[in-house]
Amino acid sequence: MNYRHAFHAGNFADVVKHAILWRILSHLRKKDAPFRVIDTHAGTGVYDLQSPEAVRNPEWRGGIGRILADDLRSALPPDSDLLLSGYLDAVRAQNPGGRLRFYPGSPELVRAALRRDDRLIACEAEPGTAAALARRYRGDRQVKTIAIDGWTALRAYIPPRERRGLVLVDPPFEQPDELSRLGESLVAAARKWPTGIFLAWYPVKNDAEVGAFMRTLWRSGIEKLLRVELLAESGAGTVGLRGSGQIIVNPPWTLDEDLRAILPILSKRLNAHANDPPRIEWIGGARANSALRDA
Phi, psi for 258 (deg, rounded to 5):
-55, -50
Cα–Cα distance for residue pair 193/77, rounded to 1 Å: 36
User: What domains, with CATH codes, occur in the chain?
Assistant: 5-294 (3.40.50.150)
Active site residue 258: no
Of the residues 140, 170, 177, 207, only one is catalytic, namely: 170
Instruction: Assess contact for 214 and 282: CB atoms under 8 A.
Output: no
Q: What is the pLDDT along the chain (295 residues), one digit of tens a residue?
A: 445 677 789 999 999 999 999 999 999 999 999 999 999 999 999 999 999 888 888 899 989 998 988 777 666 666 655 788 899 999 999 999 889 999 999 999 999 999 999 999 999 999 999 999 999 999 999 999 999 999 999 999 999 999 999 999 999 888 888 999 999 999 999 999 999 999 999 999 888 999 999 999 999 999 999 999 998 765 444 456 788 999 999 999 999 999 999 998 888 888 765 567 899 999 977 666 655 555 4
